[in-house]
Structures are given as structure tokens and as C-alpha cells.
Amino acid sequence: MVLRTALVYAAALIGFASVGSKAEAQLMEPPEQVSSQSIHPNCLDGKKEKAGLVTHYFVPLLQEYDHFLCHILEGTCIYMKDGVPWLHNYGYEDEPLEDARCKNGYGNRQNCLHPCRALAASMKHHTWGEVIFFKELVGMKCGNKERDGFELIHDGFMVVVDTGSPKYFNKRGRFDFFLGRCGSFNNGECFEGGPEISKALSNSDYCVVWDPKKPNRNKALKDEFVGKVKQEAIARGDHEAAVDFEL
């Protein structure tokens, strides 16, 4: 993801106004009994935090290359060239999508981005690889199975594997949610679930469940999460992204 512009920021604000052990890691099941200070049994130190603004970003699907949309606004796009889909990603050479190592774009460490799982955040206030749980995300739909072969009924777990402009990503809890591919969009918003997810997560409770600086805490949960993300990548045909994903 490249530097986010004021246009994206403003559009998001407008949108909000308008719209290992089994006991340790059970990602698919919502938490049943947690303390008043927590939102999930595996929140580190039992602490919950309050998110700030949560925007969303995506990979526009285009009939032809659009420099502003592909290179400046989103930083990634898939466009048609001589009947063949090509991937554009800021900082990389354009290439046929079939040949791309990461078929949904790249994060800030040359890592593959995983739709509905990747978060962008300030690397000053968050750590690359943090696994984060959003209670309000549980049960929400993400993805387009008919078009992309991928749809997720969310379990609430995300991972920080990308960053954004320090102008907008300048405090803890300021996130950008990666939706993946999108065919219906305008002014930095994807109308395939983006406004709904952004609205649900902004100013909601979240917690860190795995921290790379404390790798042995909730390790079974982290390992299960990594396995799930790999399986999701394989299911949507993004095989090298599955191999690429490690925490």
C-alpha cells in the first residue's frame, strides 16, 4: 500500500456517517465468558484497546490501466492488457497476474497481502506481525466467492503486515483493513462490504492476541491462525502467498 491520500481519508469519514492446545486456541468459536476488561480469552494481559478510525483499501479491477487509481490512490490494481489480466503494484514492475508471486499485491516487507486478513498500521505504534482480534468483526462477510473463489465469514482475527502514510497512521489503533479485489468502488471506497466493515471496526474494541516480541505467548493460537491463512490462500489459488506467509 502506498501513501494514503486526503481523498481516501475524507471518503472514509463520509462513509461512516452514511452507513499448542485446543483450549488455548479456538479461532472459529466466539468467546463465551471473558472478563469485563477483555473481549477474548487470549487477549495478552487480558487487555482490550479502543480502535480509532479504521479505513479499508483494496485492489481495483479495471478494464485498462489508470495511473491515479492504480499508482497513487490504492497503489495496486489488476487491469486488462491485450485480453490478459496484469498486476500493478507500487514499487514493482507490472507483470501478468498469472506470473505474479503475490496475486493480491505486496505489503511493506515484500510480503504477500491476504484479503480480509491483512491490516496496515503505523510501524511506530504497532509491530509487524501482530495478530489482532476485533470482536465486532466476528460473523461479518468478506470476499466475493462467485468472482474470486473466496469468501470468508470472519472469525475476528487480523494481522498487521502493511503500513500507511505517517500523516494519517500516526497513533495506536489507527488501521486500514485490506479487502482484496473490488469491482465496485468510488473515491477510495469499495462497495463490496468496505463501508460496513470500516463502520463496524472504527472506535470498536480490539486486542492483541499474539505479539512477535513475546513469541511464546499464545503460540498455539498464532500457529493455528497461520495455518488458516495459508489454507485460505490455497483455496483462492494464491499458492505462493500460502508459502510466503509466516509469522
How is residue 205 written as a grid cell? 474494541
How is residue 14 written as a grid cell? 463520509
The residue written with cell numbers 462497495 in the block is 191
CB 136 within 8 A of CB 31: no
Closest CA to 112 of 126, 101, 123, 96: 101
Closest CA to 66 of 51, 80, 49, 52: 80
Instruction: In whole angstroms, give the CA distance from residue 103 to residue 96.
Output: 10
Instruction: In whole angstroms, give the CA distance from residue 138 to residue 161.
Output: 20
Q: What is the DSSP string of the chain?
A: --PPPHHHHHHHHHHHHH---TTT--TTSPP-S--TT-SSTTSGGG--EE---EEEEEEEEESS--HIIIIIISSEEEEEETTEEEEEETTS--EEGGG-SSTT-B-TTSPBP-TTTEEE--TTTS-TT-EEEEGGGTT-EEEEHHHHSEEEE--SEEEEEE---TTT--STT-EEEEEEEESSEETTEETTTHHHHHHHHTT-EEEEEE-TTSTTTTHHHHHHHHHHHHHHHHHTT-HHHHHH---
Instruction: In whole angstroms, give the CA distance from residue 188 to residue 234.
Output: 28
Tens place of pLDDT per residue across the chain (247 aa): 544 434 444 444 334 333 333 333 455 454 444 444 568 999 998 989 999 999 999 999 999 999 999 988 888 999 999 999 999 999 899 999 999 999 999 998 999 999 999 999 999 999 999 999 999 999 999 999 889 888 999 999 999 999 988 888 889 999 999 999 999 999 889 999 999 999 999 999 999 999 999 999 999 999 999 999 999 999 989 999 999 999 9
